[in-house]
Structure 1
Amino acid sequence: HEVIVHAGRGELAFCYRSTGALPAQVFDVQIAAGMVGIEYPASYGNLLAKVLGVASAKRETRTDWRRRPLSARQIAYALDDIRHLAPLRAALHARLAERGRLGWFAEEMEAWRAEVVASLSEERWRRVSGNTGLDPRSLAILRELWKWRQSVAERRNCPPRRVLRDDLLVELARRQSADIGQIRALRGLERGDLKRQLPRIAAAIQRGLSAAPAELPPAVPSEPAPQLAVLGQFLFSALGTICRQQGISPGLVGTPADVRDWVLYRTGQWPRPDPPLLARGWRATLVGAVLDDLLAGRLALRVADPNADAPLRFEPVEPPAPPGPTPGAD
């Protein structure tokens, strides 16, 4: 059986947390749409309009779905929300087949499923926003604070950021103090429920402070080298041009950070054993050769028509002519 979803990462994560398994086959219409040149990420309503010419109802998007029993309007809305998934999947599948990208799509969905599992079973605390630039000791504190926040969120059945914002976790980790008075003084911890959690917050910080050197996470460089930022901006423009030429959404292919990772990899500075996103699978097939030629100076990118939908154009760079004989030489 195949499960059809739209932006279904959350649904798959729920399945994995509840059962320890994922559906064997998943078709995400949002990813399929990006692979055939429709914007990514596209809302469900936009996909229905652009692919099927159907207008979606929005009347219950802000309703309280926790209340039981559900109203007749809520049930009707929920049914309408999935009614068009099968025909939408069929139309996008046909477009993928027409472009010869069914193999790319299958590869992406398999990687997507693996990422869902990894996000729930590996170092998810690394995803806390704003943690770059923290030293290893602060990262150890952040890891313990993240574990505390997760346990509270699971007990309350609420999003973790509702317990304590990412920026406050990072600031507590940066300060490296388990003193309750100093913790209480941090702006943003005035809520009554957080005041009651101060001893547990302090205990989490102390665990990070007490971690042995061998248990400290490696630090992440805070600022890329200046030339890396310049190359990343330039090559990201090139990536967008490739995507427009090939009819695929740039947002699905990669981000500026992915391009910088690729530059590190191609210049021998990549610190990890596995290649980065743009050097793997269908993405490497799509953009690898062109980016390699640009990085090596064999290809140039210029403005062809500033009023065109695709204003940039690639042009080969002629190798320099060999030097001629020196005048007056025998």
Structure 2
Amino acid sequence: MLIQDTESLTKFCASLQGAPYLAVDTEFMRESTYHAQLCLVQVAHGEHAAAIDPLARGIDLAPLHALLAEPGTLKVLHSAVQDLEIFFHATGSVPGPVFDTQIAASVCGLGDQPGYAKLAAELLGVQLDKASQAVDWSVRPMSERQIDYALGDVTHLCRIYEILVADLETKGRGAWVAQEMEALVEPSRYVVDPRLAYRRIKIRRPERKDLAILRELSDWRERAAVSRNIPRGWVVRDDALAEIAQHVPHDVEELARVRGLKPQVAKGVDGRAMLDAIERALATPEEEWPEAPTSRAPLSGHEPLVALLQALLRLRCDAHGVSTSMIASRNDLDRIATEPQPDVPALRGWRKKIFGEDALKLRAGEISLSGDGEFGVLLQ
């Protein structure tokens, strides 16, 4: 069913009141905008399923937003972050509680961040229509094939969810997934602070002054991108901002010589805004400049311990049927091997129980690994 008016949407949402869970998916476009352009919302539970057209003239999505805000109804999504971000920016809140089938599948041992098509094939024996995955969902009218594909995303998702929940219950891992879901509904995850946007930009061996300038430049760019609703890189590229921060042009002519910055941009309104940002940074008291990252000496001599930790990680993950990347990254292992008290996910919550505790014991020499006489490894 395709819904394109408020009255039909209201009736559909009323039919789902009190549902224990809702399968939810979205189709959106983001190539030329800052925020994603929502093009379709699909919702299903039991015999009820609909594709809701947010681009339909005059439609009010308030009934849908109210339905998704129900605290007693679990919202089931696959790879939920972008969908939740869209709803957060539309309503100002995250539609919790949520259940991410991608995370649950990883916890159940179905691979590292398995895609939806993979789960549909492996759990349901369903092959998805790949041709509809790359269409422009903002174009109207949509074809019947598109609508069928979109509805299939949530009707299949209902069955995938029920299979995963049963598997989690059998394996006693419901609490593991619950810990992961708490992070998904944290509103701060979906808020970008323009004053902190500079931290995402790569800059080589920066000094504090460089970071102060970069902070003002990226703050301006973030706000400009939001107000124009265009990608950040369409305002000014990261590498151009980094070069400006380190070479500090003082006028339009010097700014126009920055690599990656078009001369017409340097000589226009944005050029003036960037020069103003530089002036603000230089006028800021030095004690308020961001701290430069402390240079860390190259790691050496820890590789044998990391190799043992990798073997332990594989051993514990194989025993629990969980992908290694779900438990610890290479950076986690480096930090466990070299830091007294590393703050890494592998040493918290359920990950600590299946790997972290033994990793610390291995580092301390309290346990060891050895061959089993054939092709395996034993924990002793």
Shorter-chain TM-score bucket reads 0.7 to 0.9
**1: CA distance, partners of 2:210 / 2:274:** 14
In 2, the alpha carbon distance for the partners of 1:250 and 1:129 equals 29
1:259-306 Cα distance to aligned partner (Å, 9 max, x none): 3344465x14x5xxxx43222211222212211122112333456699
- The answer on whether the counterparts of 1:139 and 1:216 sit within 8 Å (CA) in structure 2 is yes
Separation (CA, whole Å) in 2 of partners of 1:118 and 1:42: 22
Map Cα deviations across residues 117-173 of structure 1 (whole Å, 9 max, x no partner). Answer: 245155652651524742332222222222222223223323324433333333333
* Structure 1 residue 38 displacement after superposition: 1.4
2:31 aligned partner: none
Q: Is 1:211 paired with 2:284?
A: yes
Give the match for residue 329 of structure 2: 255
The 8 Å contact of residues 2 and 23 in structure 1, kept in 2 or not, is answered as: no
C-alpha change, 1:99 and 1:195, in structure 2 (3 Å) is: farther
Equivalent of 2:188 in 88, 113, 117: 117
Secondary structure at the residue paired with 2:313? helix
Aligned ranges for residues 84-123 of structure 1 at < 5 Å? 84-114=156-186, 117-120=188-191
Q: Which residue of 2 aligns with 1:175?
A: 247
Superposed CA RMSD in Å reads 3.0
Query: In structure 1, what is the equivalent of residue 152 of structure 2?
Result: 80
Alignment of 1:15-26 (within 5 A): 15-26=87-98
Larger relative contact order (CA 8 Å, sep ≥ 6): 1
Change (3 A) 1:222 1:162: farther
Q: Deviations over 1:20-67 (max 9, x none)?
A: 211221010100011011112221111111222211111122222223
Counterpart mapping for 1:119-134 below 5 A: 119-120=190-191, 124-125=196-197, 128-131=200-203, 133-134=205-206
Are residues 1:238 and 2:312 paired?
Answer: yes
Give me the identity figure in percent.
Answer: 31
- Report SS of the residue matched to 2:131: coil
The residue type paired with residue 118 of structure 2 is N
Which consecutive unaligned segments of at least 5 residues does structure 1 have? 317-330
What SS does the corresponding residue of 2:133 show, helix, strand or coil? coil
- SS of the residue aligned with 1:27? strand
Tell me if the contact between 2:197 and 2:222 (Cα under 8 Å) persists in the aligned partners: no
Most deviating of 79-88 and 96-105: 79-88
C-alpha separation in 2, matches of 1:165 and 1:302 = 51
* Aligned partners of 1:189 and 1:195 also within 8 Å: no
Partner of 2:45 in structure 1? none
Q: Which amino acid aligns with 2:275?
A: A
Which residue number in structure 2 is paired with residue 287 of structure 1?
355
1:28 aligns with 2:100: yes
Which moved further from structure 2: 86-95 or 232-241? 232-241
Task: Work out whether residues 228 and 263 of structure 1, in 8 Å CA contact, stay in contact via their aligned partners in 2.
Answer: no
CA contact (8 A) 1:13 1:117 kept: no
- Higher strand proportion, which one? 2
Task: Note the C-alpha offset of 1:238.
Answer: 3.4
Tell me the CA shift for residue 93 of structure 1: 1.0
Distance in 2, Cα, partners of 1:228 & 1:201: 45
In structure 2, relative to structure 1, the CA distance for the partners of 1:25 and 1:221 (3 Å cut) is same
1:302-321 deviations in Å (ceiling 9; x for gaps): 56699x7xx6x2443xxxxx
Residue 305 to residue 129, structure 1, CA distance change in 2 (3 Å):
farther
Paired letter, 2:363: L
Alignment partner of 1:4: what SS? strand
Q: Describe how 1:43-54 pairs up with structure 2 within 5 A.
A: 43-54=115-126
**Counterpart residue number, 2:10:** none
Q: 1:15·1:22 contact (CA, 8 Å) conserved in 2?
A: yes
1:208 positional shift? 2.8
TM-score by length of 2: 0.70
Q: Give the deviation of 1:236 after TM superposition.
A: 4.3
Partner of 1:321: none
Q: Residues 133 and 221 of structure 1 are in contact (CA less than 8 Å); yes or no, is this contact kept in structure 2?
A: no
> What is the rounded CA distance, in whole Å, between the counterparts of 2:204 and 2:168 in structure 1?
38
- TM-score normalised per structure 1: 0.80
CA contact (8 A) 2:266 2:272 kept: no
Q: Which amino acid aligns with 1:286?
A: I
